[in-house]
Amino acid sequence: MKLLLVEDNAELSHWIVNLLRAEQFTVDAVIDGEAADSVLVTQRYDVVLLDMRLPRMSGKDVLNRLRRRRDNVPVLMLTAHGSIDDKVACFSAGADDYVVKPFDSRELVARIKALIRRQSGEKSGCLTCGDLHYVSDTREFRHNDATLSLRRREHSILEALILQQGKTVSKHALMERIFSLSDEPSADAIDIYIHRLRKHLAQSSAQIMTLRGLGYILRAKVEVAHDELEQAAS
């Protein structure tokens, strides 16, 4: 999952970025409204964390422009005041939720995860591919009742694949999900992460298949075997 943080307080921004990266999120951070508006035109995010009061363009104006472009990305407003007027202003501008500073780290993460679940329409709280399980509440991958220990980018790639289970995910789409604005995107790195993930899944009935020139697809081995039998029969 990829998030955009728009916060002009450098100390708070640094704290939030570290918190979210520890939670396996890819995070971009900008410090003013104009920069946020520019980035949101070209980049895709799963959630935007937007400070209400920003230099160069207010958070409310950024949000208004975002919604006028018919971009429905979930937006969590960060506000320094919990007044009714502020809350009404957040929702009137098109925000999906808000938190009042100072906030607890657990509350911030919980609200972000709730917005992601709401946007994806995931009701069960758990996705499965063979014997691989993805628990959306915690964003954990489990196999044989044990949590898979994945690095952040490995986690992001496997998450993208299981959320699009049975569908091809292009290498370009994976690059967009795992690299932030400050990174140097590398197509070769995707191959390395896929290789590592296949090692993690070596004992699982879930497997990552490469569709040359198209991308990658996560499927259960029994499904693959069934397709191969059908192709042989035809």
Nearest partner of 99 among 86, 108, 110, 109, judged by Cα: 108
Please give the backbone phi and psi of residue 146, each rounded to the nearest 5 degrees, phi first: -120, 145
Give me the average pLDDT of each 10-residue run along the chain (234 residues): 95 96 94 96 94 92 94 92 81 90 92 85 74 88 92 94 92 92 90 96 95 93 59 51
pLDDT at residue 71, as a whole number: 93
Structure tokens that stand for 106 in this block: 């657990």
Structure tokens that stand for 52 in this block: 């209400």
Domains and CATH numbers, the chain: 2-120 (3.40.50.2300), 126-233 (1.10.10.10)
Per the listing, tokens 């932030």 go with: 180
Structure tokens that stand for 213 in this block: 């020139």
CA atoms within a 13 Å half-sphere pointing along the CA-CB vector of 38:
10
pLDDT at residue 33, as a whole number: 95
Tell me, what amino acid is at 150? Answer: L
Percent composition of the chain: helix, strand, coil (DSSP 3-state, to 5): 45, 20, 35
pLDDT at residue 138, as a whole number: 83
> Using CA atoms, how far apart are residues 27 and 32, in angstroms rounded to an integer?
16
Strand order in the sheet with 75-79: 26-30, 2-6, 47-51, 75-79, 97-100
Residue 208, classed as helix, strand or coil, is strand
pLDDT at residue 215, as a whole number: 95
